[in-house]
Amino acid sequence: MGVVVAVEGLDGAGKATLVGALADAALRRGAVVETLAFPRYDADVHAGLAGEALHGAHGDLRDSVHAMAVLFALDRAGAAEDVRRARATQDLVLVDRYVASNAAYGAARRGEDVDGPFVAWVHALEVERLGVPVPDAQVLVRVPGELAAQRVRDRAAADPTRTPDGYEADAALQARCAAVYDQLVERSWLAPWSVVGAEGDRAEVTRTAEAMVEFWLSGSSRCDVASGSSVRSDTIET
Ligand SMILES: Nc1ncnc2c1ncn2[C@@H]1O[C@H](COP(=O)(O)OP(=O)(O)O)[C@@H](O)[C@H]1O
Ligand SMILES: Cc1cn([C@H]2C[C@H](O)[C@@H](COP(=O)(O)OP(=O)(O)O)O2)c(=O)[nH]c1=O
């Protein structure tokens, strides 16, 4: 039975970069690894519609916080079997955005905090009703909002297919979302969290990834990280 780890954070935080480093670290350790990413824009019609709505299509669809969250949730429901199979056959399953993205972005859009109705609604919808598998651990890639926004702008400048979507272009939303993510961590919402800064260089990302993979795959009770690394894992439990 493998470990399912969801990697979360703002747009441009460095999630995909960390997922890549975690996968490399696990492979170097001889582990069998699978990587998934949500939304699955190309593989799932619900995600496809949500992605198009984020870029202004489908009338007022984007205006509805709940409608957008239902689409993202149905995308995950459609992948639930894949996640269960991966957990059964792999040592480590890395998921770039998962249920907590819906909780953080939806609550932020509604101006709610972690105790508001939206976060509870996401849990009831995705976990209790749709049967989306609960992850074993979650990682918040936490960087200052301005750095994440700059990375989104740089990415768009380098790749015209990555124009910022409606959420990415909304700095106030990203700031509220960062606050909700911090509350989700504080509450150990859904599963234990660890927090990683991604402001350092690539070598530091690699060191951090190696320490985290060692922790998950060894099942040790605490995560020893080289000094200078920015991982905070006191919320990890085994
Ligand atoms: N630790 C880091 N140091 C410097 N640049 C980074 C780091 N992590 C990510 N980046 C860069 O920031 C941008 C966004 O990273 P990415 O992993 O795609 O973020 P996300 O998946 O959270 O949107 C990319 O151009 C990436 O190369
Ligand atoms: C997966 C997911 C994403 N989102 C939001 C977060 C992002 O701002 C946006 C798009 O996801 P994102 O991961 O940024 O996709 P990409 O970088 O490929 O465009 O959707 C949710 O609100 N709920 C979810 O369940």
**pLDDT tens track of the chain, all 238 residues?**
999 999 999 999 999 999 999 999 999 999 999 999 999 999 999 999 999 999 999 999 999 999 999 999 999 999 999 999 999 999 999 999 999 999 999 999 999 999 999 999 999 999 999 999 999 999 999 999 999 999 999 999 999 999 999 999 999 999 999 999 999 999 999 999 999 997 778 899 999 999 999 999 997 533 444 333 444 444 433 2
Ligand 1 mutation pick, 22, 151, 202, 205, max ligand atoms within 8 A of CB: 151
- Tell me, yes or no, whether 176 lies in a domain: yes
Q: Residue 220: its pLDDT value, please?
A: 55
- Tell me, yes or no, whether 152 lies in a domain: yes
- Tell me, yes or no, whether 237 lies in a domain: no
- Tell me, yes or no, whether 153 lies in a domain: yes
Question: What's the CATH number where 90 sits?
Answer: 3.40.50.300
Q: What are phi and psi of 231, to 5 degrees?
A: -80, 135
Task: Give the atom of ligand 1 at the shortest distance from the alpha carbon of 141.
Answer: 22
Q: Please name the helix (run of DSSP H) or strand (run of DSSP E) that holds residue 22, with its range, or none.
A: helix 15-28
Q: Is the CB of 97 under 6 A from ligand 2?
A: yes
Question: What is the Cα–Cα distance from 140 to 158, expressed in whole angstroms?
Answer: 26
Residue among 238, 206, 217 nearest 33 (CA) = 217
Question: What is the Cα–Cα distance from 185 to 193, expressed in whole angstroms?
Answer: 6
Q: Computed over its alpha carbons, how large is the radius of gyration of the chain? A: 17
Q: What ligand is nearest to the CA atom of residue 155?
A: 1
Q: Is the CB of 98 under 6 A from ligand 2?
A: no
Report the number of distinct structural domains present in the chain.
Answer: 1
Q: Residue 173: its pLDDT value, please?
A: 96
Q: Residue 152: its pLDDT value, please?
A: 95
- Residue 182 near residue 216, CB atoms below 8 Å: no
Whether this prediction's pTM lies above 0.90 is answered by yes
Residue type, 14: G
Residues 6+ apart with CB under 8 A from 219: 238
- Tell me, yes or no, whether 238 lies in a domain: no
Q: Is the CB of 167 under 6 A from ligand 2?
A: yes
- Tell me, yes or no, whether 223 lies in a domain: yes
- Tell me, yes or no, whether 126 lies in a domain: yes
CA of 93 to the centre of ligand 1 (A): 20
Q: Residue 221: its pLDDT value, please?
A: 37
CA of 117 to the centre of ligand 1 (A): 32
Q: Is the CB of 72 under 6 A from ligand 2?
A: yes
Range of the domain at 11: 3-232
Distance of CA 217 to the CA centre of its chain: 20
Residue type, 60: D
Question: What is the Cα–Cα distance from 178 to 145, expressed in whole angstroms?
Answer: 8
- DSSP letter (8 states) at residue 161: G
DSSP 3-state of 221:
coil
